[in-house]
Amino acid sequence: MKKIFMWIGISLGGLLLAAFIALSVMAGGPKDALYMVRYALPHMHRGNLKVGDAAPDAKLIALNGLDTFHVRERGSGKPLVLVFGSFT
């Protein structure tokens, strides 16, 4: 019985190590892999939206910091291309 648990432990450890190595390759290094897990993964979500779904609305702030508007207000009878991102 102990041997089974030992082999399960070794297999899990091996899988974790392989996953970390793969993540390191993807992220650009072991430090980047750790930072990816700590800072990026908690905020990354696939989401449930599909083509054909109603586009969610959201309130946005203009660059002047004073005006606000909604995403839906930007539709003017034409398709609306949304580009999400940040400077860094």
Residues making contact with other proteins (CB under 8 A): 32, 35-36, 38-40, 43-63, 65, 69, 71-72, 74-88
Q: Could you tell me the smallest distance in angstroms from the CB atom of residue 40 to other proteins?
A: 6
What CA–CA distance (Å, rounded) separates 42 from 40? 6
The single-letter code of the amino acid at 65 is G
Distances (CA, A) of 81 to 7, 60, 63: 52, 15, 19
Indicate the residue among 9 and 74 with the shorter CB distance to other proteins: 74
Q: Could you tell me the smallest distance in angstroms from the CB atom of residue 20 to other proteins?
A: 16
